Amino acid sequence: MHWLELDNSIDSTDIPHKELFDLWVATTLGGQDAQLTIKIISKEQMIELNSQYRQKKQATDVLSFPYHDDYQQEINPSLPYLGDIAICPDVLQEDAKKLDCELQDHWAHIVIHSVLHLLGYDHQLPEDQQEMEQLESKIMQDLKFNDPWEINK
């Protein structure tokens, strides 16, 4: 079982419905019990977060903030809290155009990628990157989306 809080702080019609976020998160978790928050934020908010946490004064499509302790949200204390994900739709849409991929495919990929970060995966080392990309490809294909790493080749 999982619990997802979707916090949308911007006005946009291009954001997928919560049911899709739930599906993407649940598929990525693979039955693991967890809760997390996805925040939809503006480009300005993303620049602020990216500057504060990564020392990069530019917008990015997504940032993941995993919790590394036994912190429990008050909303559902019976589920382990994985962390927060911040997504900037403006950058995500720009990236989808550059990559020449469907917008919904890219939304799904970014959510899957971010949840994997919350689960402890990263892509700092080549072997870790390969493992993470293989997982992303499998999950995307399980959801009947195109393999994001085949599109980008």
Kindly report whether the global pTM for this prediction surpasses the value 0.85. yes
Mean pLDDT of 77-83: 81
Confidence of residue 151 (pLDDT cuts 50, 70, 90): low
- C-alpha torsion 83→88→91→94, nearest 10: 110
| Residue-level pLDDT at 72 | 47
Q: 23-64, pLDDT tens digit by residue?
A: 999 999 998 999 999 999 999 999 999 999 999 999 999 999
Terminal-to-terminal C-alpha distance of the chain: 35
Domain extent listing, the chain: 2-151
How many other CB atoms sit within 10 Å of the CB of residue 132?
A: 18
Tell me the average pLDDT of the chain: 90
CA distance 15 to 12: 6
Q: How far is CA 25 from CA 6, 18, 79, 119, 123, in A?
A: 11, 10, 15, 11, 19
> Per-residue pLDDT for 71 more than 60?
no
Residue 18 token pair: 């919560």
How many other CB atoms sit within 10 Å of the CB of residue 8?
A: 14
2-151, CATH topology level: Collagenase (Catalytic Domain) (3.40.390)
> Per-residue pLDDT for 152 more than 60?
no
The per-residue b/e assignment along 29-68, b for 16 or more CB within 10 angstroms, e otherwise, is: beeeebbbbbbbbbbebbbebbeeeeeeeebbbbbbbbee
- More confident site: 16 or 70: 16
CA distance 138 to 63: 22
Mean pLDDT of 129-144: 94
Confidence of residue 11 (pLDDT cuts 50, 70, 90): confident
